[in-house]
Amino acid sequence: MFNQLGVIGCGLMGGSFALALKRAGLVKRVVGYSKSPSTTERAKRLGVIDIAAESALLAVSGSDIVLISVPVAASEATFRAIRHLVEPGVLFMDVGSTKRDVVEAARRTLRERVSSFVPAHPIAGKEVSGVEHSDATLYAGRQVILTPLPQTDAAMVQKASDVWSALGAQVLRMSPDNHDAAFAAVSHLPHLLAYAYFNAIHGQPAGADFLSLAGPGFRDFTRIAASDPSIWRDILLANREEVLKQASRFRHTLEALEHAMKLGNGDALEELIRNASQARSHWQMNTRKPASGR
Ligand code: NAP
């Protein structure tokens, strides 16, 4: 049981963590801070946080657990703003979708205090953002990846693991590099493709007419193209090296399909489709509840 959770970034992820911790009876009060005072006030009005803080440092003051749930590009400035209060015994975590950049920023700014920081990435979310979409059940049945540094205090890693487990999540550990390589393939590239694909359809003269005819397959395929532009700008830039590698692999497999079509080679085309179709029908998402997020 924690006395006080400090949330820096009262949006979808931070708000959901606050609600989940409250619902599990694991925290007495929640203090929140967001860049815009109106967001922090809205979080308070919605009962997601109990006290609105005027700065990130004030949200940390008196907290025994802190969640940094800001866009990944804002991580370094956040670490810098709070570093004087990053003390042993207080659990600091983030929820950023990329880990190498966040870990490097933590190392640079927190220095020896980095031992209290446990980098985390919950594989949960929605294509809508903002505190009004916070959901106490968002993390239940989901995976949470922890990417501790060699200097991270083992007791803090255990505490982080216990908190996420208490919210119903399944906790895994990986290195930041392995995390970023894997999520470039299964999360960041699909977002890049969804944005490109939607722009391609929407940007053509008959795009609006075509879109008016689209059905459930199109809806499912493009759902993530509605995801928040600034959050995804930051993710794609932070992990650009790995995402560009995956984009290049994708381009080759697309070209192979196009090549078979240009040649009118039905056997080759069917073979490529069959490979994907069989692999996809054997794949299952690692979850204990119905899918709704990324
Ligand atoms: P969100 O709903 O837009 O929330 C982000 C919050 O951070 C907003 O309240 C924003 O405040 C605040 N913020 C922005 N810059 C800040 C700063 N410099 N200092 C303090 N607060 C700041 O976004 P989200 O979906 O919760 O994403 C948060 C993090 O979770 C991101 O790092 C993202 O990569 C990660 N993540 C997201 C998902 C997902 O599906 N959404 C899944 C896994 C991980 P204002 O309203 O005042 O701008």
* pLDDT tens-digit series, residues 135-184: 999 999 999 999 999 999 999 999 999 999 999 999 999 999 999 999 99
Beta carbon of 228 within 6 Å of any ligand 1 atom: yes
Q: What is the CA radius of gyration of the chain?
A: 21
121 alpha carbon – ligand 1 mean position (Å): 13
Beta carbon of 34 within 6 Å of any ligand 1 atom: yes
Element (H, E) at 179: helix 176-183
Q: Is the pLDDT of residue 45 over 70?
A: yes
CA angle 102, 88, 177 (to 5 degrees): 25
245 alpha carbon – ligand 1 mean position (Å): 26
The β-bridge relationship of strands 51-52 and 65-68 is unpaired
Please tell me the residue having the least CA distance from ligand 1 atom 42: 125
204 alpha carbon – ligand 1 mean position (Å): 32
Q: How far apart are the two ends of the chain, measured CA to CA in Å?
A: 29
Beta carbon of 122 within 6 Å of any ligand 1 atom: yes
What residue ranges define each of the domains in the chain, with the CATH number in brackets?
Answer: 2-174 (3.40.50.720), 179-282 (1.10.3660.10)
Strand partners, 92: 66, 117
Beta carbon of 78 within 6 Å of any ligand 1 atom: yes
Beta carbon of 143 within 6 Å of any ligand 1 atom: no
* Tokens 């931070």, residue located: 14
Beta carbon of 102 within 6 Å of any ligand 1 atom: no
Coil vs helix vs strand at 181 = helix
pLDDT score, position 291? 45
Most informative mutation of 7, 10, 12 for ligand 1 (most atoms within 8 A of CB):
12
Model confidence, pTM: 0.94
The β-bridge relationship of strands 143-146 and 120-122 is antiparallel
Of 13, 152, 170, which Cα lies nearest the Cα of 88? 152
237 alpha carbon – ligand 1 mean position (Å): 16
pLDDT score, position 288? 62
Give 293's pLDDT tier (boundaries 50, 70, 90).
very low
Please say whether the beta carbons of 116 and 86 come within 8 A. yes
pLDDT score, position 286? 83
Beta carbon of 66 within 6 Å of any ligand 1 atom: no
